[in-house]
Structure 1
Amino acid sequence: MTNIETENLTEYILVEYRWVVVMAFLLPLSFLWKVWSCVRNYVVFTLSSAPKMHHKKVKDVQNQVKEWIKAGRTTKLCTARPTWQTMSFRHGVYKKTFTNIKVNLVDVLEIDTKNMTVRCEPLVTMGQLSRTLEPLGLALAVVPELDQLTVGGLVMGTGIETSSHVHGLFQHICTQYELVLADGSVVTCSKDENPDLFYAVPWSYGTLGFLTSAVIKVVPAKKFVRLEYHPYSNLRDLAARFSEESLKKAPHQFVEALLYTKDTGVVMVGDMVDEVGSDGRLNQIGKWYARWFFTQVRDHMEAGRATGRALVEYIPLRDYYHRHTRSLFWELQDIISFGNNFIFRLLFGWLMPPEVSLLKLTQPEAVTKLYERAHVIQDMLVPMDRLEAAVELFHEEFQVYPIWLCPFKLFNQPGQLKVTAGDWQMFVDIGVYGVPKAKGFKTESSTRRVEDFVSKNDGFQMLYADTYTTKEEFRRMFDHTLYDKVRESLTYCKEAFPEIYGKVNRDVRK
């Protein structure tokens, strides 16, 4: 990050020597935070105090909303959670003028082994949840990769994993939501109880009410994932294999691909197993000294291309679920360029990764402007048969690698995401995170062209990042029929919350 204009010495240090700040301050603070969170969550869950306190905490949310009503409903509502604590790089400046409602709901409430569900409060993280379920031999059917992603963010936004070609998006494994509405009432909803609200909540971004709990499906878990790495040297063959694996009648439990150039990449397929087989080695990628996963995959690609054979490894289940956490996919290489060095991993790997919230909190304005001008963080969801064309366009407009490919089954259910025909349709999430190298890249115009392609090809844009669509374009991409109906039916809802577009469009949300 050189040649960036800074306003003072402190900002200059934060920009030019950001890695020093991360190593000296953010990594130790992140470690202490993780230790405290683990101990606190273990104690609360073990003593079963969370379910007893849940009603009281929900009542507190209700009381805050009722105070807003008494005050005349002159402002919009939002959660009081600071934007620096969220995983999104977007800055919610609207919070400065909205009434902030404190939603301190951070606990796993109960695990129902009979019905194979877990009930969680919205600020429960994926790391917290997988740690809680692992000793019980359970796991979520869909476990989005990053430890710090929350249940609430994944419900109100979206979440995806390499098991999504079987189970769908995170919203599809949720069976019930509890919300505090804009009139101060508490309501539960499911496909059988208040179904319109149930199907309208996903992708609503907190514009229908405050989520206070969710019931989520779990599945039996085994100790390891047997993972196969299949290297490819051209996009067509890779896309064909990726599609084939995703659409099999009896598919592997996990399917994923990484592209390292437009024509080179690796398709990975995996299944849970209880023991390490003789056809591959045990690779504990979650160890502090282990190399970042995406760099290991790149080496497997090179080796596989040389030998012409697929590689097999056995990875501990929880390590696999959170395989992209330690490097935040590949974003950390731009902050700590030597972070994958053996000496660094050996001495500091146990502190990785820094909390995203702390990275955001200490991010100077100059770096924020740089990210806005010369950094892409986008996930685009397109039908599987448009994968090749989409990658070609991403290469032309962004040229950011690696590219993450994750298949998912989109069910034909009420809500904002519609399939063109049948009970379901296979899509692929194309994730692009990094510094664009495409000639002539401009953040807004380049993203706008990609958004236009996605919309015209019956796809969707994940909304945790900036969207540059007009309101009309946004409504063409997402079906608002049910959403509008629900907002009209809920008392004070339109007074309390902006439309989704007002929270995700870069210009409007200001």
Structure 2
Amino acid sequence: MGQVTTLLLPLGWTLPIVPELDDLTVGGLIMGTGVETSSHKYGLIQHVCESYELVLPDGTLTKCSRTENPDLFYAVPWSYGTLGFLVAAEIRIIPSKPYVRIKYHPAQSADEMTQLFIKESMKTRENDFVEALAFSDESGVVMTANFCDVFESGKLNRIGHWYKPWFFKHVEDKLKNDQSSVEYIPLRDYYHRHTRSIFWELQDIIPFGNNPIFRLLVGWLMPPKISLLKLTQGKTVKRLYEEHHVVQDMMLPIKHLSKCLKVFHDEIKLYPLWLCPFYLPKEPGMLAPPGDEGEMYVDVGAYGEPRTLHFNNVKTIRQLEKATKDFNGFQMLYADSYMTREEFREMFDHSLYDKVRKSLPLCDEAMPAIYDKVHKEIKE
């Protein structure tokens, strides 16, 4: 994503959906999922894709779109590389502007935050971007933003500079001030606002990382590459990380947000929580809203060390999975999944996926099924 924005923004264009972290790849976002604060307007990353090119299990290079090989086109998203190797994607682009005008709306109660967040998420014409950070079970900040060409004097915040506070800490200060405020951020800085602190994961890795002196002297080295961190993990560190750390995104109808937040609080008491709305249209594929029409959903992201005394990684994730399934939601599969095969197939619509796998020569022999690739115990 970092390379894409570096290329497109100087030309006055952008992708409709630009997930935050620089190192996220186009292929990973399509085969997995990609969501961003503009998703209430555009949906997930697959919904702005026009076509894919894949090398299939038998070595055939195939193109698919909504009109050409449509079954394959709709089966690719969330297939996690189990139908073939994605080698090219055609994605829509839209005009961009150099800045965003962002408004911070502090909320001092759960009801105020969820109601405001839902209200702003439904304003698909008025708001180009919508996001919220919940800092406790009773407080948070809802943010709305729009493209703009100019900024007001004294209100430009180049949040992407290495010496600037981490974005989530900057937002937390807005909550403490308890007053709505407006500022302007360069568009690329806004897109990658969570990169320098890896959302808020870096505070567990480098607790003093947001110290002004640290930021000034070595902030330009941040963040460390996630792939490098994983590569250099020893067995003990990896075990401790798995037993005392949560990285999960649960996606559910936005009407269930209040209930979902209560479940997250009861099970993990982990804050901040990232709230990002997205529209889920009624289309073929793994994800489908329960009704006959599209529906507004929300991604609830939990990243860090839980604060509940009874935390048990497997049991707790199972509880979150059950709640998500009860809410007609979906679990992002980049993270640990402990669902049974039957539960997994109930959560995700496999009808088209199974049909496509059967139609592709050598697919069953060469490629694992999604469940076998993402389930925690099986992939280990």
TM bucket normalised to smaller: over 0.9
Tell me the residue number matched to 1:299.
173
Supply the distance in 1 between the matched residues of 2:92 and 2:181 (Cα, whole angstroms). 32
Residue 228 (structure 1) aligned with residue 103 (structure 2): yes
CA distance in 2, matches of 1:349, 1:274: 29
Following TM superposition, by how much is the alpha carbon of 1:317 offset from its aligned partner in structure 2, in angstroms?
Answer: 0.1
Equivalent residue, structure 1, for 2:215: 345
Q: Is the 8 A contact 2:133 2:140 kept in 1?
A: yes
Cα distance between partner residues in 2 of 1:143 and 1:423: 25
Q: What is the TM-score with the length of structure 1 in the denominator?
A: 0.74
Larger Cα Rg: Structure 1 or Structure 2?
A: 1
**Match 2:66 to one of 191, 200, 203:** 191
* Matching residue within 404, 412, 422 for 2:274: 404
Query: Is 1:393 aligned to residue 263 of structure 2?
Result: yes
Letter of the structure 2 residue corresponding to residue 302 of structure 1: K
Say whether residues 1:286 and 2:185 are aligned partners. no
> Aligned partners of 1:334 and 1:252: how far apart in 2?
33
Q: Which residue of 2 aligns with 1:242?
A: 117
Structure 2 SS opposite 1:427: strand
Matched-pair contact (CA < 8 Å) for 2:37–2:130: yes
What's the counterpart of residue 155 of structure 1? 30
1:456 lines up with 2:330 in the alignment:
no
Tell me the distance in 2 between the aligned counterparts of 1:359 and 1:136. 34
1:183 to 1:249, Cα distance in 2 relative to 1, 3 A: closer
Which residue of the other structure, out of 324, 340, 348, is the alignment partner of 1:478?
348
CA displacement, residues 297-316 of structure 1 (integer Å, 9 cap, x when unaligned): 0001111x2xxx31101000
Cα deviations across residues 472-497 of structure 1 (Å, max 9, x unaligned)? 00000000000000000000011111
Secondary structure of the residue aligned to 2:22 is coil
Match of 1:216 among 68, 84, 91: 91
Alpha-carbon separation, structure 2, partners of 1:134 and 1:249 = 22
Name the SS of the counterpart of 2:379 in structure 1.
Answer: coil
Tell me how large the CA RMSD over aligned residues is: 0.9
Alignment of 1:15-34 (within 5 A): none
Aligned-partner Cα distance in 1 for 2:203–2:10 = 33
Aligned mates of 1:182, 1:350 — CA distance in 2 = 43
Q: Is residue 262 from structure 1 mapped to residue 137 from structure 2 by the alignment? A: yes
SS of match in other structure, 2:378: coil
Kept in 1, the 8 Å contact 2:104–2:182? The answer is: yes
Take 1:249 and 1:403, find their aligned partners in 2: how far apart are those partners? 23
Using the TM superposition, give the Cα deviation of residue 424 of structure 1 relative to its aligned residue in structure 2, in angstroms. 1.2
- Alpha-carbon distance between aligned partners in 1 of 2:227 and 2:317, rounded to the nearest angstrom: 25
Unmatched segments (≥5 aa) in structure 2 = none
Q: Which secondary structure state, in structure 2, belongs to the residue aligned with residue 407 of structure 1? A: strand
Aligned partner of 1:25 in structure 2 is none
Partner secondary structure for residue 508 of structure 1? helix
Question: Which amino acid letter does the alignment assign opposite residue 139 of structure 1?
Answer: T
Give the equivalent residue in structure 1 for 2:233: 363
Give the deviation of 1:249 after TM superposition.
5.2
Cα distance in 2 for residues equivalent to 1:349 and 1:343: 9
Aligned length: 380
Cα deviation for residue 409 of structure 1 reads: 0.3
Pairwise CA distance, 1:247 = 1.0
- Offset at 1:365? 1.2
Letter in 2 for 1:178: E
Question: Which residue of structure 2 aligns with residue 141 of structure 1?
Answer: 16
TM-score with structure 2 setting the length: 0.99
Which residue in 2 is equivalent to 1:57? Answer: none
- The whole-number CA distance in structure 2 between the counterparts of 1:291 and 1:352 is 12
In 1, distance between residues paired with 2:297 and 2:56? 33
Displacement, 1:423? 3.2
1:83 matched residue in structure 2: none
Give 1:277 deviation, angstroms: 2.5
For 1:60-75, list aligned pairs within 5 A: none
State the one-letter code of the partner of 1:442: N
Query: How far did 1:250 drift?
Result: 2.3
**Equivalent-residue separation in structure 2 for 1:187 and 1:465 (angstroms):** 29
Q: What's the offset of the Cα at 1:248? A: 2.2
Question: Does structure 1 retain, via aligned residues, the 8 Å contact 2:41–2:124?
Answer: no
The amino acid of 2:306's aligned partner reads P
Match in the other structure for 1:104:
none
1:327 matches 2:197: yes
Q: Deviations over 1:124-154 (max 9, x none)?
A: xx00111011110111100000000001100
The match for 2:293 among 423, 429, 451 is: 423
Q: Please tell me the residue identity of whatever aligns with 2:247.
A: I
Q: Deviations over 1:55-76 (max 9, x none)?
A: xxxxxxxxxxxxxxxxxxxxxx
User: In the alignment, which of 309, 316, 333 is matched to residue 446 of structure 1?
Assistant: 316
Matched with 1:166 is 41
Contact 2:40–2:124 (CA<8 Å) still a contact in 1?
Answer: no
